[in-house]
Amino acid sequence: MNGVMDQLAPAKYSPYRVFSAEEWAKFRADTPLTLGEDEVQRLRSLGDPIDLEEVARIYLAVSRLISAHVESSQLLFRQRQRFLSGNGAGQKTPFIIGIAGSVAVGKSTTARILKELLARWPSSPKVDLVTTDGFLFPNAVLQAEGLMQRKGFPESYDVGAILRFLSDIKAGRPKVEAPVYSHFVYDVVPGETVVVDRPDILIFEGLNVLQVREMPRDGKAIPFVSDFFDISIYIDAEEAAIRRWYIDRFMSLRATAFRKEGSFFHRYSKVTDEEALEIANGLWTEINAKNLHENILPTRPRADLILRKGDNHRIEQVALRKL
């Protein structure tokens, strides 16, 4: 996988400004650190070694940047109200942040950290977090359609349900329901939903949230999921690093969650270490690497902010789209 600037080269014509982690950290300015080390440990995903130093170095500046975007969005809304003379302007709708990236790259940790930081702004905004996992088709549907080996690929999601959900959120509708996914049983939980009730900010996280589809030849409108985003973030890293993180996580889960009766992957806890390693490598090669190359990585240049990690899971480079 090429680096950010390799893909966006030549730098002279790049739509991004690129900063080292040290340069980016300076943009924190006077943004207060409102999280503690114990909270960071609770929020991070298995295998992600993020600590309080990383939060201060990277995520406080990201929080400040998002704050600036929210303020600009509110200002534009008021200007539009004046332009329309109050005719049909309605009320300000939730600010939506999209977070994309490969499996095992750390999207969930980033989403949870940002949720906590944003909710602790002085204005105490209401911040909700929803992942696309709940919008996967149930396993029974995927099996009937022969898509179980394509789980996580764009065709395995109920895109219509995602678009309806985001449309309702942007319309400011109260008590919008989103389906719930269980990683333990590896399936959507029948009848279980989470209610999102008019948040100030919604974080929407998933593998393919920046995905586009073929445009219709007749010019009819086909909305993309990302059409509802006010800002988008892509978590990036070299493929070799992501592969290692995925396999390490698989082996760790094999010794923990997979051992529990009822786990979809319980069978993997009963094989030898060598067999488990072979299985993990196969899952990466046959499913996750293909999805990364075919669907996820091509969406990286569509992000407003690219956070690029090094081998140690720490962010080394930040690319910010120019205005």
pLDDT in tens, the chain (323 residues): 444 445 455 467 789 999 999 999 999 999 999 999 999 999 999 889 999 999 999 999 999 999 999 999 989 988 888 888 766 656 778 999 999 999 999 999 999 999 999 999 999 999 999 999 999 999 999 999 999 999 999 999 999 999 999 999 999 999 999 999 999 999 999 999 999 999 999 999 999 999 987 777 777 777 899 999 999 999 999 999 999 999 999 999 998 999 999 999 999 999 999 999 999 999 999 999 999 999 999 999 999 999 999 999 999 999 999 98
Calculate the alpha carbon distances from 124 to 16, 61, 78 in Å. Answer: 31, 18, 21
Q: Which domain holds residue 21?
A: 4-67+94-321
Asked whether residue 74 is domain-assigned, the answer is no
Asked whether residue 89 is domain-assigned, the answer is no
DSSP 175: S
Q: In sequence order, what are the residues at sequence separation of 6 or more whose Cβ sits closer than 8 angstroms to the Cβ of residue 73?
A: 92, 95, 230
CB 298 within 8 A of CB 290: no
Asked whether residue 127 is domain-assigned, the answer is yes
Cα-Cα end-to-end distance for the chain: 27
Q: How many CA atoms lie within 13 A of 108 on its CB side?
A: 14
Q: Where are the alpha helices (DSSP H) in 120-188?
A: 139-144, 159-170
CB 110 within 8 A of CB 307: yes
Entry pTM: 0.94
Domain total for the chain?
1
Asked whether residue 222 is domain-assigned, the answer is yes
- CATH number of the CATH domain containing 282: 3.40.50.300
Calculate the alpha carbon distances from 253 to 64, 184, 248, 258, 264 in Å. Answer: 35, 11, 9, 6, 12
Q: Which two tokens stand for residue 209?
A: 């949230």
How many CB atoms neighbour CB 318 within 10 A? 24
